[in-house]
C-alpha cells in the first residue's frame, strides 16, 4: 500500500559521494605493472634531466672533448717557443713589419714559412701553433 500512496522514499537510490583526491590516493592499490612503469618513467626522466641540464655526456663526447683540450694545451705550450724562435731571428724587425702588413687570415702561413712554428726536433710545422704564435706576436 505504500506504493499506492506515492511514497518513494524506499525506492530512492543514494548516490555515492565523490571521493576527494586524498581519499582516492589512499585507496590506490599499486600493482607490479604500475610499479614497473613508474620505475621506467623515473629512469627516463632522470636521464633527460641529467643529459640536458646535469652535464652528463656520452663516452664519445667526453673523448672528443678530452682530445680538443689536450690539443689546445699543447698549442698553448708551444706558441711561446715559437715567439722565442722569432726573437732569435736576426731580421726580426723587418719580418715583424711584414707580418703586420699581411692579412690576418694569412699570418699563420707567414709564420710557418719563416720556420718559427717548427719545433726543435720536428720536420713539420703545426698550423695551430703558427696561428697562436701570430696572435702572440701581434696582439689585438
Q: Output DSSP code: residue 46.
A: H
What is the Cα–Cα distance from 50 to 29, expressed in whole angstroms? Answer: 31
- Measured in whole angstroms, how far is the alpha carbon of residue 113 from the centre of its chain? 37
The mean pLDDT of the chain is 90
Whose cell is 583526491? That residue is 21
Q: Rounded to the nearest 5°, which phi and psi values hold at 33?
A: -65, -45
What predicted TM-score, i.e. pTM, was given to this entire model? Answer: 0.64
pLDDT, tens digit, for every residue of 46-67?
999 999 999 999 999 999 999 9
> Is 102 in contact with 95 (CB distance < 8 Å)?
no
- What stretches of the chain show up as alpha helix (H) in DSSP? 21-27, 32-52, 59-87, 92-101, 107-114, 127-137
For residue 7, name the pLDDT band (cuts at 50, 70, 90).
low
Q: What is the pLDDT of residue 138?
A: 92
What is the Cα–Cα distance from 10 to 67, expressed in whole angstroms? Answer: 85
For residue 2, name the pLDDT band (cuts at 50, 70, 90).
low
Q: What is the pLDDT of residue 10?
A: 57
pLDDT, tens digit, for every residue of 101-138?
999 899 999 999 999 999 989 899 999 999 999 999 99
Amino acid at each position: 500500500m505504500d506504493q499506492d500512496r506515492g511514497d518513494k522514499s524506499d525506492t530512492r537510490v543514494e548516490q555515492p559521494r565523490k571521493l576527494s583526491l586524498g581519499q582516492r590516493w589512499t585507496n590506490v592499490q599499486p600493482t607490479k605493472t604500475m610499479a614497473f612503469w613508474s620505475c621506467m618513467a623515473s629512469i627516463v626522466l632522470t636521464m633527460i634531466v641529467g643529459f640536458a641540464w646535469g652535464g652528463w655526456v656520452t663516452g664519445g663526447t667526453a673523448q672528443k672533448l678530452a682530445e680538443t683540450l689536450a690539443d689546445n694545451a699543447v698549442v698553448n705550450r708551444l706558441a711561446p717557443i715559437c715567439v722565442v724562435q722569432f726573437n732569435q731571428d736576426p731580421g726580426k724587425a723587418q719580418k715583424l713589419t711584414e707580418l703586420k702588413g699581411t692579412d690576418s687570415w694569412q699570418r699563420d702561413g707567414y709564420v710557418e714559412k719563416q720556420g718559427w712554428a717548427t719545433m726543435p726536433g720536428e720536420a713539420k710545422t703545426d698550423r695551430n701553433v703558427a696561428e697562436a704564435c701570430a696572435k702572440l706576436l701581434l696582439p689585438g
